[in-house]
Chain A
Amino acid sequence: MRLKQLLGYALFAGLTALSPLMAPTAMAEGPLRIEITDGVIEPLPFAVPAFQDDGGGAGNYASNIARLVAADLAGTGLFREVPSSAYISSITSFASPVAYEDWRAINAQALITGAVSQSGGNLTVKFRVFDVFSGQQLGEGLQFGGSASSWRRMAHKVADIVYSRITGETGYFDSRVVFVSESGPKNARRKRLGIMDFDGANVQYLTDSSSLVLAPRFSPTGDKVLYTSYETGFPQVYVLDVASVGRRALTSKEGEMSFAPRFSPDGTRVVYSLSAGGNTDIFTMNVNGGGEQRLTSAPSIETAPSYSPDGQYIVFESDRSGTQQLYIMSANGGEARRISFGPGRYGTPVWSPRGDLIAFTKQNAGRFHIGVMRTDGSEERLLTASFLDEGPSWSPNGRVIMFTRESQGADGAPALYSVDISGRNLRRVVTDGPASDPAWSPLLK
C-alpha cells in the first residue's frame, strides 16, 4: 500500500511543539524542476485538489489547507495554479493511484494530493507530490500533526516542502514578520510593534502605541526582537521576548541615543549605532548586557550595520566620503572597504542569509530603489522604484525581499511590499492598516 510509504512524524502537541519535519529527501532526478537562477522563467503549472476529509470532521481544514498551499506556491510567481474547473478527474481517495493522463491533459506538471483527519482538537495532515509528466511520485509522502488552530502553519509547511522538492531550495512560508503598525496623521503618527505570519495572517501586537517604536529585528531563533523605542523620551535599543512580550532596555546612557540594532548570527551579540555629541558610530554589546565594543570612530555618520551570515563581517552605511555609501569591515572593526560606487546614495544594507548578496536602499535622482549587489559591490541590480522604498529584509531562503513603500503627499502612508530578487513578482503584503519596517523571521521550527 502506498500509505505505508508515509513517514509517521506525528507530533500531537501545541503550536510550539509542531516540531521539525524530516528534511526533504534527495531530489528526484527528473524533468520537474524549476531552475530559478534563470533570469526569466515560465511559472510551473500545478494542481492542488481539495485534500481528502479523513474523518473527525476535518472537511473544512482539508479544503482550507489545500487552498493555502496553492496560495503560497502561486504567490512566489514561480508557480501557476491550474484551476479546479479544468480538472478532468477528481481525487476521491488519498490512497488510490493517480490518473496521470488526466493531469497531463490539463498541463498540470505537479500534482499535490493530501488528506486531513481531526481528533481531539488535533489535525493529522498527509500529502504527496507527483511529477505528472514523468508519472512518478516526487519524494516520499509525509505526515505530521498539530493543533487544529495551527492549520495555517501546517499548510505553510506542506507548501515549503513542495517548494523545496521542486526548486531545490528551502522554502519561506512557515515564517513570521515583525513590523511597525502605524496609525494617525502623518505629523502625529502612532506606532506599535506587530507580528504576523509572512502572508499577513495571525496579527498580534507586541507593544501599545504610547511610545514611538522603530525598526524591529528578529533574533536568529525568532524568539526575540530588537527594536528602538522612545519610551524614555530618547531613542534607545530594547530587546523583547516574543512569547512573554517582556522587554528591557539594552542601552540607556544619559545624553546618548542608540538605534538600528541587529543580532549577530549566533544571537549572542547586538550591533547598533549610537549617537553622542551629534556623531553616530557603530558599537556592539552582549545581548545580555555589557561587553560594549566600539567598531567605528569617525566624525561621519556610521549606521545601519548588518552581520554576514558567518558572523565574520559587518556591512554598514557611512557618509565619510561625503554621501551615504556602503562599506564592509571585520566584525571587530578596523579598516572598511567601500563597495558601492554607482550614482546616488546607498543605505540600510542587509546581508542575505545565503551570504552572496547585499540588499540596500538606493536614493538617486529623486527616486528610491530597493536593490541588490554582490558583496564585492559588483552586479548591482535595482529591483524596485518609487517615491519612497526603503528598509529591505530577506526571506529566510534569501529569495524574496520585503520592504517599506511609502506613498507621496499629505495623505501618504507606508505599506509592506515584497519582491523576488529577480525583480519580478512585486506584491503588496496585506496588513490591517499602514505598516512599515518589516523584518522576516527565520523558518520556524
Chain B
Amino acid sequence: MKSYALTAVLVGVLAVAGCSKSPMNAGNGFGADAGAGAIVPGSASDPTSPAYFQQTIGDRVLFAVDQSSLSPEGIDLLTKQSAWLMENPAFTAVIEGHADEQGTREYNLALGARRASAVQNFLIERGVAPNRLKTVSYGKERPLEICSDETCYSRNRRAVTVLAASGLTS
C-alpha cells in the first residue's frame, strides 16, 4: 500500500516536472509531502539525474588566466564527477572548454581545447571509459558572463561537463 502511494506521488511529480521550467521547486513541494528521503526523479534530489550532477556535484571547473592546469578545487570536483559517471554508465558527456575574451580568437580556441582535454584526461584517469567523453572548444565565443573585468573573466575561463543520455555515437 505504501509502495503504491509512493508510485502515485512519483507519477504526479513527473507530470508537474514535465511542464515546469523549474523541477527544483516542483521537487521541493512534493518532497515535503512524501517525507524525508523521497526521491524526485529527474530533479536535483535524484542522485542519478543530470540536474543533480549539474547542481549538487557541479558541472564546471575554472582556470587561471592562460592556464589549463586543474586547481585543487577542480580536482575535488572532477573526482566527484568521475565517481558519478562511473555509477551512471547510461550517460555520456561532452566537455566544453572556454576562454575569457582577453586573447585572439584562434589562440582561445586552442586554449579551450587544452582545458577541455585536461578535464577529459582526468576523468579517464579516474576510470571513466574514454568512449563516453568528447571534447569541444568554444574559445571566447560563448561567455557565460558578459562584463569586461576579472569578476566575469574568472567565471568564463571554464570547462563544463555537459551530460547526454546514452548513445555512444553522436
Contacts and interface: CB of A to CB of B under 8 A. Distances in A.
B136 A235 contact: yes
A110 to B, nearest CB: 41
A170 interface: no
B56 interface: no
Max count, chain A CB within 10 A of own CB: residue among B101, B104, B107, B148: B104
Contact of B109 (A275, A279, A406, A410): A275
Contacts of B135: 255, 278
Interface stretch (B19-27, B45-53, B79-87, B115-123): B115-123
A317 interface: yes
Contacts of A257: 109, 113, 136-137
A277 B117 CA distance: 6
Contacts of A301: 107, 110-111, 114
Nearest to A189: B141
Contact of B136 (A233, A280, A319): A233
A185 interface: yes
B105 A275 contact: no
Interface in A398-419: 406, 408-410, 412
Interface string A257-297: 10110000000000001010111100000000000000000
A189 B140 CA distance: 11
B74 interface: no
Interface string A104-119: 0000000000000000
B43 interface: no
Contacts of B118: 278
A242 interface: no
Contacts of A278: 68, 113-118, 120-121, 135
Contact of B141 (A214, A255, A391): A214
Given A187-B142, A187-B145, A214 B105 contact: yes
A320 B106 CA distance: 16
Contact of B148 (A255, A280, A303, A408): A408
B18 interface: no
Interface in A236-272: 254-255, 257, 259-260
Contact of B146 (A186, A275, A280): A186
Interface string B116-159: 11101100000000000011111001111111100000000000
A304 B105 CA distance: 9
B107 A303 contact: yes
A316 to B, nearest CB: 10
Interface size class of B (residues with CB under 8 A): 20 to 34
A78 to B, nearest CB: 30
A234 B96 CA distance: 10
A273 B143 contact: no
Interface residues of A, number: 42
B103 interface: yes
Mostly, the B contact residues are: mixed
Contacts of B110: 273, 275, 280, 301, 303
B105 A234 contact: no
Nearest to A412: B148
B3 interface: no
Given A187-B144, A259-B109, A347 B116 contact: no
A236 to B, nearest CB: 11
A260 B137 contact: no
A371 to B, nearest CB: 13
B102 A363 contact: yes
A410 B94 CA distance: 28
Contacts of B113: 257, 275, 278-280
A275 B103 CA distance: 18
B23 to A, nearest CB: 23
A212 interface: yes
Nearest to A281: B110
B116 A185 contact: no
B146 A187 contact: yes
A112 to B, nearest CB: 41
Nearest to B103: A363
A215 interface: yes
Contact of A317 (B107, B109, B114, B170): B107
Given A187-B146, A275-B137, A301-B114, A235 B109 contact: yes
Contacts of B142: 187
A370 to B, nearest CB: 11
B119 to A, nearest CB: 10
A232 B141 CA distance: 16
Contact of A273 (B94, B102, B106, B121): B106
A222 B145 CA distance: 38
Given A215-B106, A233-B136, A273-B106, 16 more contacts: A214-B141, A234-B134, A275-B110, A275-B113, A278-B114, A278-B117, A279-B114, A301-B107, A303-B106, A303-B109, A347-B103, A363-B104, A390-B105, A408-B148, A410-B148, A412-B146
15 contacts: A187-B146, A214-B105, A232-B170, A277-B117, A278-B115, A278-B116, A278-B120, A280-B109, A301-B107, A303-B106, A303-B109, A317-B107, A348-B105, A390-B104, A412-B146
Interface of A: 185-187, 189, 212, 214-215, 232-235, 254-255, 257, 259-260, 273, 275, 277-280, 301, 303-304, 317, 319, 324, 347-348, 361, 363, 387-388, 390-391, 406, 408-410, 412, 437
**Considering the complex of A and B, which 6 residue pairs feature the smallest CB-CB distances, nearest first?**
A278-B117, A280-B110, A275-B113, A347-B104, A186-B146, A301-B110
